[in-house]
Chains A and B, each alone.
Chain A
Amino acid sequence: MKTDPREIALLEGLAKNERQAIETIYKQHYNMVQALIINNNGSIDDARDIFQETMIVLYEKARSGTFELNCLLKTYIYSVGRRLWLKKLQQQQKFVPEMNGIDELVPVEEEIEAHGERNMEFQTMEKAMLNLGEPCRSLLDAFYLQKRNMTEIAGHFGYTNSDNAKNQKYKCLMRLRKLFFAAFKNTL
């Protein structure tokens, strides 16, 4: 099937984390996924979670550079969302309904599996960050996640100079690594 060039452009935008692309995809496909979830024992919140996870799968896939969309974006999103929802239902040990809707599906098992693994890593990281406590969490968040520079951070957190802040940051980083690897080993 020939892919719509507009959809390819959308995916390229998504890969670059362009807000316009995200909004467009969101607008076009949210209602479809929501209908799928709501009609299959899900709530509004479930619908939002599943759609956003689907977007993350799509985002990771688009960024990987190896993604070839050889069906409609709509079909792909539907397939991923459906698979994610089935998985969630199984985890909650709810009765799994026969999903009906548009029947056209594409295989997405690999994506879902990779997504599950990544999700576990990120959640481990998030937990480790939470367990770190203040001021370490904010300090690392500012430096590694928000990528602010050290002088700015020193001023913000009230360190006398950036070297002090740096030392503190490294100590925090050591602790985070310990927490992360300990938790990661446990989950594996």
Chain B
Amino acid sequence: MEDLQILDAIERYLRDEMNPEEKAYFEQLRKTNPEVDQLVVEHTMFLQQMDRFAEWKNFKSTLQDVHHQLLDNGDIKEETPRATVVHYLKKYKRVMAVAASIAGITTLLIAGAATYYNRRASNEDLQQLRREFKQEVANKKNEVLNEVNQKMISKAPENAELISGGTGFLIDGKGYLVTNAHVIKGGSTFVVQNNKAQEFRAKTVYVNESNDIAILKIGDPDFKPQAVLPYSIRKNSVELGEPLFTLGFPRDEIVYNEGYMSAKTGFNGDTMTCQIGVPANPGNSGGPVFNRNGEVIGIINTRQRTAEGVVFAITAKNIIRTLETIKKEDSTLRNLKFPANTQIKGLERVQQIKKIEDCVFMVKSY
């Protein structure tokens, strides 16, 4: 009840409806009683708020009124929206355009990603390091070879053209060789030749062009199986800067080169290969890359055309994975053993090469 009386008093005070006596009393009350004063201030503000609210509402209804009146008089016109479909088309034109572009971009990205991860060494960027033999040169070379190795019987098929050549190396003493798939591509008969110019016939056991690995089997009575291979295949990754060396047949003679580990990935970030800083030339393809302990860390397969000294090698992990796959797939290869321990660790390089060179072959594809 008291609150109500105070409210009434406040309103009358604000509206100036009090008689002077009452007003004086009320003002005195405000001064002496802070609570009353507070209430006066608060209620004044609230009433102002109410006033403004009233004006706001009135103005709004006036606006509505004016709107309808002007509409009726034809002073303003409400533009009718276009036909619904067209309207929606226009309304969502941008949204649709954005959605379509997003879809398009996504498609492109996925396609791009797919090609990125499936990246094959394209001929434009990368050069495969196999030796190409042109007919005339090959003939001439054969003549020379025949003269030199008159006593040797060539295992090459008669009347067949030598198409290409590369390098391969033993992964099992029984005569299994690893080389690049592109080295033997297009050939039907394969002959491998060691550093003593002895030739052996070989046949393909496995070819995987996507990771460029091929396995050949020497099936020649002249071949003497090796009980233990001097090198092993490195299972762990290789550190950058690790010294490396290679053996291969860019010529008819075995060629030694050395360098270092340059990058852990290959062309355009390809994780199947790594980059090495070792000079390599056509004919080196399929050749083993060793670290200083005599562990195979990769197979040379390409070099970048547009850059100097950028050579890529298939990583050892890839070789092991391939070997394990084919051991499972092919029952005749179940006994395939690849060397686990290197025999030449700590030897001098010259000694290491002497041990290794018997296991590295030139691969000739007819």
Segment of B58-66, B138-146, B155-163, B165-173 in the binding face: B58-66
Q: Are A38 and B58 in contact (CB under 8 A)?
A: no
Chain B residues positioned under 8 Å from A180 (CB to CB): 46, 49
Chain A residues positioned under 8 Å from B4 (CB to CB): 167, 170-171, 174
Separation in Å of the A115 CB from the closest CB of chain B? 11
User: Which one, B56, B63, B75, contacts A122 given CB within 8 A?
Assistant: B56
Chain A residues positioned under 8 Å from B81 (CB to CB): 38, 43-44
The answer to the question of B321 belonging to the interface, with a C-beta cut-off of 8 Å to chain A, is no
The answer to the question of B333 belonging to the interface, with a C-beta cut-off of 8 Å to chain A, is no
Separation in Å of the B89 CB from the closest CB of chain A? 12
The answer to the question of B86 belonging to the interface, with a C-beta cut-off of 8 Å to chain A, is no
Chain B residues positioned under 8 Å from A118 (CB to CB): 52, 56
Q: Are B53 and A125 in contact (CB under 8 A)?
A: yes
Q: How far is the CA of A122 from the CA of B4 in the complex (A)?
A: 25
The answer to the question of A137 belonging to the interface, with a C-beta cut-off of 8 Å to chain B, is no
User: Which one, B55, B60, B67, B94, contacts A97 given CB within 8 A?
Assistant: B94
Q: Are B49 and A121 in contact (CB under 8 A)?
A: yes
Q: How far is the CA of A48 from the CA of B76 in the complex (A)?
A: 11
Q: Are B63 and A38 in contact (CB under 8 A)?
A: no
Chain A's interface size range is 35 or more
User: Which one, A22, A126, A174, contacts B62 given CB within 8 A?
Assistant: A22
Q: Are B67 and A173 in contact (CB under 8 A)?
A: no
Interface string of A5-32 (1 = CB under 8 A from B): 0000000000001010011001100110
The answer to the question of B348 belonging to the interface, with a C-beta cut-off of 8 Å to chain A, is no
Separation in Å of the A76 CB from the closest CB of chain B? 17
Q: How far is the CA of A146 from the CA of B58 in the complex (A)?
A: 9
> In B244-291, which residues have CB < 8 Å from any A CB?
none
Q: Are B8 and A166 in contact (CB under 8 A)?
A: yes
Q: Are A170 and B79 in contact (CB under 8 A)?
A: no
Q: Are B79 and A26 in contact (CB under 8 A)?
A: no
Q: Are B78 and A44 in contact (CB under 8 A)?
A: yes
> In B73-132, which residues have CB < 8 Å from any A CB?
75-81, 91, 94-95, 98
The answer to the question of B57 belonging to the interface, with a C-beta cut-off of 8 Å to chain A, is yes
Segment of A51-59, A80-88, A102-110 in the binding face: A51-59
Chain A residues positioned under 8 Å from B94 (CB to CB): 95, 97
Chain B residues positioned under 8 Å from A170 (CB to CB): 3-4, 7-8
Chain B residues positioned under 8 Å from A48 (CB to CB): 67, 78
The answer to the question of A35 belonging to the interface, with a C-beta cut-off of 8 Å to chain B, is yes
Q: Are A22 and B66 in contact (CB under 8 A)?
A: yes
Separation in Å of the A38 CB from the closest CB of chain B? 6
- Please classify the interface of chain B as helix (H, G, I), strand (E, B), loop, or mixed, using the class held by over half of its residues: helix
Chain A residues positioned under 8 Å from B67 (CB to CB): 26, 30, 48, 52
Q: How far is the CA of A17 from the CA of B59 in the complex (A)?
A: 7
Q: Are A59 and B7 in contact (CB under 8 A)?
A: no
Separation in Å of the A78 CB from the closest CB of chain B? 16
For A173, give the chain B residue with the smallest CB separation.
B7
- Known A-B contacts A19-B62, A95-B94, A125-B53; A35 and B8 likewise in contact (beta carbons under 8 Å): no
The answer to the question of B347 belonging to the interface, with a C-beta cut-off of 8 Å to chain A, is no
Chain B residues positioned under 8 Å from A31 (CB to CB): 76-77
- Known A-B contacts A26-B66, A170-B7, A170-B8; A177 and B46 likewise in contact (beta carbons under 8 Å): yes
> Count of B residues near A, CB < 8 Å?
36
Q: Are B63 and A52 in contact (CB under 8 A)?
A: yes
The answer to the question of B69 belonging to the interface, with a C-beta cut-off of 8 Å to chain A, is yes
Q: How far is the CA of A97 from the CA of B94 in the complex (A)?
A: 8
Chain B residues positioned under 8 Å from A97 (CB to CB): 94
Q: Are B57 and A145 in contact (CB under 8 A)?
A: yes
Q: Are A17 and B77 in contact (CB under 8 A)?
A: no
Chain A residues positioned under 8 Å from B59 (CB to CB): 17, 55-56, 59
User: Which one, B54, B63, B91, B95, contacts A144 given CB within 8 A?
Assistant: B54
The answer to the question of A41 belonging to the interface, with a C-beta cut-off of 8 Å to chain B, is yes
> In B39-53, which residues have CB < 8 Å from any A CB?
46-47, 49-53
User: Which one, A27, A34, A121, A145, contacts B79 given CB within 8 A?
Assistant: A34
Chain A residues positioned under 8 Å from B78 (CB to CB): 34, 44, 47-48
Q: Are A56 and B60 in contact (CB under 8 A)?
A: yes
The answer to the question of B70 belonging to the interface, with a C-beta cut-off of 8 Å to chain A, is yes
Q: Are B8 and A55 in contact (CB under 8 A)?
A: no
Q: How far is the CA of A82 from the CA of B228 in the complex (A)?
A: 85
For B58, give the chain A residue with the smallest CB separation.
A17
Q: Are B53 and A38 in contact (CB under 8 A)?
A: no
Chain A residues positioned under 8 Å from B75 (CB to CB): 27
Separation in Å of the B180 CB from the closest CB of chain A? 54
Q: Are A22 and B50 in contact (CB under 8 A)?
A: no
Q: How far is the CA of A147 from the CA of B15 in the complex (A)?
A: 12
Q: How far is the CA of A170 from the CA of B43 in the complex (A)?
A: 12
Chain A residues positioned under 8 Å from B79 (CB to CB): 34-35, 38, 44
27 contacts between A and B (CB under 8 A): A17-B55, A22-B63, A26-B66, A27-B70, A30-B76, A34-B79, A35-B79, A38-B81, A41-B91, A43-B81, A44-B81, A48-B67, A48-B78, A52-B64, A55-B59, A95-B94, A95-B98, A144-B47, A145-B53, A166-B8, A167-B4, A170-B3, A170-B7, A170-B8, A174-B3, A174-B4, A180-B46
